[in-house]
Amino acid sequence: MAGIEIVQGDITTQAVDAIVNAANSSLMGGGGVDGAIHRAAGPTLREECRHLRATDYPEGLPVGDAVATGAGDLPCRYVIHTVGPNRHEGQIDPRLLASCYTRALDVAQQLGVRTIAFPAVSAGAYGWKVADVARIALGTVAAHPRDGIDLVRFVPYDPTSCVAFEAAFAGLAAS
C-alpha cells in the first residue's frame, strides 16, 4: 500500500518530519517509548510539555487525543504526543486506540507534516496485544484521509512486534 511502510527500529532515530510519542496523560515522560523520546529529545521537550500542562492540559492529555511539541534534539521537527488506552485500567474500546492514530494524523496535517513515524501505541506496558494494535493502527491509517502526508512509517521496536505489523499490513493489502 503506497505511502505506508514498516521499519523495525528505534523511533527516536527516525529522520521524518514528526514522530508520535506513546505518551502518558501527564506528558512528562515515563517508561518505554515515552521515556526514550524524552531522554533523546533533551530538556527542551520537557519544558514544552510542562508548558502544555500549565496552559492547555492542566488535567493531562485525554486518552485518544493528540498534541504537538517541538522535537528538541531529535532528528525530526515535531513530536506528536498521544495517550493510548490502558487495558489494565479497563480501557478496552478499540475506538480509543484508533483515535490515537486519527488524532495524530489530524495534528500532523495541521502542521504540514509530510512524513510521520508511529510506534505501537498501547502495546507493551498498556497491555494491548501487538497484533491487535497493528491491525487497528494500520486499518485506521489506511482509512484516514492523509492529504499532504506522503509517508506513514510504523516503527515497531522488536522483531516480534515487527512481524505482527507486517502480518497486519499483508492482511490489509490483501483485502
Catalytic residues: 34
Burial of 20 (0-12, 13-18, 19+ CB in 10 A): buried
Closest CA to 77 of 16, 23, 119: 16
Strand 66-70 to 78-83 pairing: antiparallel
User: In whole angstroms, what is the distance from residue 44 CA to residue 80 CA?
Assistant: 15
Grid cell 508520535 is found at: 20
Q: Are 78 and 111 in contact (CB under 8 A)?
A: yes
Could you tell me the three cell numbers for 73? 534534539
Spatial strand order of the sheet with 115-118 comes to 4-6, 151-154, 115-118, 18-23, 78-83, 66-70
